[in-house]
Amino acid sequence: MTTDETHDRIAEAFARVPREPFLPVAERQNASDNVPLPIGHRQTNSQPSTVADMLRLLDPQLGDTVLDLGSGSGWTSMLLAVLVGPTGRVLGVERHPELVESSRAAIEAVTADSAGRETLAEVVLHEAVTGALGLPAEAPFDRILVSAGAESLPDQLVDQLTVGATMVIPVAGEMLRVVRDGPGSDELTVTRHGWYRFVPLVVGE
């Protein structure tokens, strides 16, 4: 798929999935601002341009199974549901149970209002398991999107990638695109794509 086609697909996903329902009521008036917005529990709904950058790097394809780690408000999970289509799956993980509950409600409401419900992937949101990172029981994944900053590249997440899969993750403030080239945990191609600020990634997310 060409870069232009990827940009077009992401623009379509943004057009189909409004940001407002995934924000607290007091923040919905700010939904069009290109800034991160608070959603409670010291978490944010990420800046739209950052989300778009990450999705372009991730380049999810129709039919992919995607892990959305640090799913927060559920907005990125819903964007991914558009991008991977009805033959794909999106599994979100969030460590704050209140955000899991509110994001499930937002996804249900947006899906119910969508004229193209049959074109969306199923989205399943999980509360993080204590002591685990990601969803090892559901692995492997074709794509992993991490919306929290790690101090170093987590082996636990690399192990959840299938061969040929891609992960996008901020590490030490720098956005990395990680492609697993082979079965070994060190068989990776890592490219770097600029500096971003995120809440910290913690085990149990």
Q: Hey, what amino acid is at 196?
A: Y
46: annotated active-site residue: yes
**Distance of alpha carbon 141 from alpha carbon 89, whole angstroms:** 10
Place of tokens 């601002």: 33
- 172: left (phi > 0), else alpha (psi -120 to 50), else beta? left
Bridge partner residues of 68 (DSSP): 92, 145
The answer to whether 129 touches 61, Cβ cutoff 8 Å, is no
Q: Pick the catalytic residue from 46, 77, 102, 147.
A: 46
The answer to whether 92 touches 126, Cβ cutoff 8 Å, is yes
Q: Hey, what amino acid is at 87?
A: T
Tokens in use for 147? 């919306």
- Could you list the active site residues? 46
